[in-house]
Each structure stands twice: as C-alpha cells, then as structure tokens.
Structure 1
Amino acid sequence: MAKAKKAIQVKSVKAKPSMKVMKAMTKLTKLAMPAIKAPMKQAIMKKPASKTKTATIKVPMIDSGLSSWAVELLALSPALGQDNFFRMKIDQIERTWSWWENWGGTGGDGQSSVQAFSTLALAQRRFREQFRSKTGNNFGRAFVAKEKKYKLVQNDELGAAPKPAAGQWQYYLPRGDIGWHNHPKQKNMEMLWKQSNCDGSLCIRVAWAPGNRFQNVLDFSKMELRRHPTGVRLAIRRVPHGETCSNEPPGHIPDAMANEHVGGGVA
C-alpha cells in the first residue's frame, strides 16, 4: 500500500516595505490628517439651535409716593443773623433706595451726603429718625414748631410736581451804575420769595454772600435788601415771567444808613 504523501504547506511571506516607502507614507498621512479632522471637529462642536427665546425680566418698581419723602427744614433767627437750612429726601435708583441730605447757610450750596439702603423701609426709618431729631415732631403727623428746633418749610424744588415759570429778580442802584440789575442768585431769590408767601414769618431772610464776607438781609414785605456790615440798602423787585422789565426807578428808594457805601452790585 502506497504511503500517503505529506501535504506541503506553503507559508505566504509578506514583503516588508522599504524605509523610503515608510517615510513617504508617513509624510502623506500627516498632510492628509487636517483635511480629515476639520469636518469631524465641526460636527462635534456644532450644537443644534435653541428654539427657546431669552425673555427680558422686568423688575416692578414700587410706587411708594417718594415725592412726599422730601422736606426742607429751617432754623431762622434774623436778629441773631441765623438762617440755616436742612433738606432731605428719598430717591429710588433701580432696586436701591438712597437717603440724601443737604445742609448749610441760606444763600450757599451747603454740604451734602448720600446713603444707600437695600430696602425702602430702611431708608424711611432713617428719614423719620432724622426728622424727629431736627424738629421734635413725628413725620407724617400734624407739625408743631418747637423752640430751638428746625421748622418745616415749603420747597417746591424738592418735589416732582411741575414748577411754574420763575420770575426775574433785580435790584436798583441809585448811584454809580444807576439802574436795575439782575440779581446773581435768581433761583435762590425765587425760592425764598415763595416760602415767604406760604408763611408770613419767613418774610425776612438772611442770605450769606460767597465766602461769608457779609450778609444780605432780604425783607420781602418791603421788597428791600440790606447788606451787613456795610449798611447798603437797595430796592428789589420781581418781574413776572413773560413781562417786560421797566427801566423806571422804584417808587421808594431806601434811605442810606450811617456807614453806607452804595455801589459794586450784589453778590
């Protein structure tokens, strides 16, 4: 019996690429990779568009009647040359409430300070405390003027209501540059005049000139200005808004005082 022949197994041998071929393939791969990665990166980073729109949230403003939280207080004694104001009010800026105060001598700008509060209740509490300290009265109740305390006066400039057109204030020089001249403190004169109309006890006011060099005593009952210590006395007038100013001298020119020196205008 013939012996079976052994099957001859032939192993396939893969030829290894040469070094030059491998370097060429590596170079081609590096050049091709950016073109392959770019679309993949864009596909990963791209997010589906959101269908939800961003809503604008409006914070409701509290209508607290802040126009009523604004007052002017006054310490007045013309005989002693005292005429000091103290103003305060509450303002709202977005979600913050501020308590503002301004104090000084009438005729000047005075000093100011502002304090912020997180809630309206805190600002109102500070307002009430200061009001009681200055006047001896509780804010919001019937006001009773007390000795050695500030009194409550009207100041339309602090409120939010529309202001009527202001008049034009002038003083008359009888010598030198004779004639009517515009007063340099128009806004202040108008405010003091309005206060005297509301309260007859405020018809005489003491307004300090710049630098506190002298005092201007305003007598709205006589429409007269007296300067101390120089003794100058001048007639004053208010020309209503829209009316033409007359160049005629006043019907009454105040008599000169002993040490009077008229001239130089009013500061």
Structure 2
Amino acid sequence: MAKSYIDELLDLAAGIVELADAEGTIDKRYWKKAKAEHDALQANFTRVRKEYVDSLLDTPDGYEQAYSLTLEELNITRENCDDTWIPAVNYVSDNLLPYLQKESRRSPSTRKFFKYLPWFIAGVAVVAYIAVSFLALTPINHAIDTQAGIKERAAAVQKVIRYDYLMNTHVRKGGWIKGALFWPLEPTEYEIKGASEFASLAFEAKQVSVQEYGCSPIAQEYGNGPSKDEVAYLSETAERLRDATLQWKKPPIITTIDAARFVGKC
C-alpha cells in the first residue's frame, strides 16, 4: 500500500514540477489552463498525502516507524531512479516528510478527534438548524378578537417582515441558496395567514384613526404589494401591541386603535 501511495505522489509531483518549471515559457493563451492543471495536481497531491499518512498512523506501529520507513523509501527511490525524476522525488520529500513528522507527533486519540471533528460539527449544525426552525415557530391558538390572538398575529407579521427583509424579496420567492440558508426562519402557511389577519386588523384600526382622530393616511402601492410605509406601520404597530408593559382595554380592538394612533403620533 505504501509503495502505491509513494508512486502516486511521485507522478503528481512530476506534473507539478514540470508545470512550475515551464511557467515562464508557457504561451499566455494557455497560461490559465496550465494554472488550473497545476492547482488540480496540488490538490490531488494534498489529498493523497493525507491518505498515505492516515494509512501509516492508523496503526500503533505506525507512530514508531512511519517517518523512518518513508524516508528510507524516498532515499532508495532517489538512488535508483533516472535523473529526470530527482526533482519529483525532492518535491515529495519536501512536502511529505514535514507533514508526516508533524502528524506523527500527535497521539492516536488526538488524531482521531481532529479526523472526526468536521463530522461532529456538521451533525451539531444540522441539529441546530432544525432546532431553530422549531424555536422560530409562532403559535396562533386564540381568536383574533382576543388580546392573546392579536399578540400572536402581531408576532406572525413580525416574522414575515423579518423573513422578507432577509430574503430581500417577497416571502415565496428568492434564490435557492438564500432559501436554504433562511429556511428555519421561513414563515409557515399558517403564520402567513395569521400575519394577513393582523394586517387587515391593523389597517382597519389605521382607517379609524384617520377618520376619527385626524391621523395621516399611509401611502399605498396598489398591485405591487405593501408599500414601505405600510410595512413600517405594521412592524411598529406589532411591536407596540407586543410590549409587555402595554395596558390593554376592552374590547381589545380599542387597544389596536390606540396602537395605530401611537404609531401615527396623533
């Protein structure tokens, strides 16, 4: 196994050295392609090097003999190979032996920890990702004409507005990357329905505040969704109605009208 890894590393090193030596003579038209090939060879070299070192150090005896055996193998190769292969052997020596020496200083338990750490982190991230989606849920369990029902729907409209802002688009649109990233925060259909109910109630309260208390109306954008002023009004009204210090009146719709007046400063 060790021999096959060394051979593979030598083949990759030969390609890397050849491209590096030809860097100054490569036609500019082909430089980009040569650079991509060089980078691919280096990436493969790093991968094979790690596989080789892992194969040696995964056994108890490897910690005692890995470095000496590899050094001996490279010295024998250097002594018996054609002169044209010497640069490749030197490249392998310079880029394999220090890495092997560093890894061999780590205890088996430490190496296993770092080997499986990315999987552990990925697992924790998935659990957290799913947990956030559950924690972000906004329950709507009460009728809209109750204090609890209004506050629940106020929370739903805040969630919809926050998601729209993060996606920089409407709730049901957006690139798949952003959609995946913000999926835990995406409102459910039930939450969107609750947000719509709150919007209807809040705009009715706003209309009453305009007609009865002389508040200024809000600019609308018919056919293009809510205007920025309407979104701001809904956000501020929801925040006001979710304030723990707010004194509610009966019926609760009166407090919603008071909130519209508070936001409109009238």
Please classify the TM superposition score into its range, dividing by the shorter chain length. under 0.3
TM-score by length of 2: 0.16
Structure with the higher fraction of residues in helix conformation: 2
Name which structure has the greater RCO, CA cutoff 8 Å, separation 6+. Answer: 2
Structure with the higher fraction of residues in strand conformation: 1
TM-score by length of 1: 0.16
